[in-house]
Structure 1
């Protein structure tokens, strides 16, 4: 079965070109508003609390591509979409408000310094409750964990780049991998160079990580029986090893990886949150052949 993914890009292949993408519409949490929440004025109020691990998963994922991002807030959840400075990788995530211990918010967009939020979360212990509160009058975000309150100045939304939209891209192959298989394939490929080919072979019923060095080559095969789910098509895409490794590391630990693979088009790498109604995906530009 083929899948179309909306991507933000000015090119579909990059050496120094730019790309990005929006969410795969039929796979986002159903109860988060589909309205674009990333171009609005700041909300008048926001109070949300939840397990610190959930907040850490959210902001750790975003930090793999940028240190500042737009946080879209609706009455039913949050949305973040951000790209790296070069536009070669993008993260897109949504979490339903029901995933938090409490969630009370007006609709709007905040400019958030991701690294400062992660600093505030770093003082926590497993199982701690994190409480976020917006001070709209002073344009600050307060994060309270176990009696320690960190006040973070918000950035102007207009100062943060917004990834542009592009038409849907047909991505015909879908592979569901365990995180261990993904790690092994990427580690093996990374030993030989800074790029690798990701191939799906419908006749052989397998996917392959293929990398070449000056003298050596490597192929890591996963047959249909090794995969959690497999919707094959004959496709191949060349990718930057470091970008895919960073995206893989940004997804929640222990969750299966869903790869949407097309022929020479951006890779979509997706996972659900393990203990929340939400999902995140990375969209990674292909490399041009040598």
Structure 2
């Protein structure tokens, strides 16, 4: 299944994208795709509703805005330098275990919403990533069982302000958490439709120029490893998101760096999961 949320920002309703391309309103049956939905067997109930022909579900106009496909999660856990070539281009050493950092959930954004240049920004960067959405509470999960805790996958862009992240001391979070810095979507593809999350192409274009082009098989630490590893340090709740890292080709890794400017257009995609498209705009 492909889960969508549609409508005005902050007032999105749950829906489903059918195989024939129609978008169906599911709000008559389900309140939202949030922690409670995943925890209480919502995916299974949604599958039954879809199999029954989505009774009572009206068709959503294709021009209606799509929001992020799950409600704002309790946390967004990110993995740094998880592709070898990306770690090399940064020149900061190769991690011997996953590098974790957090991204504020207030950065949560829809798949076609603008990315806003924050005040004082001079080094805005892009990073296409495979996002993993957790389907049930996970704590101290073994690698052999970790994929059983995954509800589905989506396309994610980890926008970063490198001045805030690298040149102002402290941890990375402040360079990762500005409003609009965590777009995800356009839909959540349930785990049963992705036979192997390590066999997906992912890419990023800036103004139609291909900047990033890689495969999830190039991750240093697989999705299976990452879910297990993160649950050693925190409990993952249903609806939580793990952003699994980005391949080489980000602006900071270029010589000279080619950071985003107002008016730029960023497109990110993951094979089978759809594409994001963000216009870069200055803070009003």
TM-score by length of structure 1 reads 0.31
TM-score (norm 2): 0.31
Q: Per residue, is there more strand in 1 or in 2?
A: 1
Rg larger for:
1
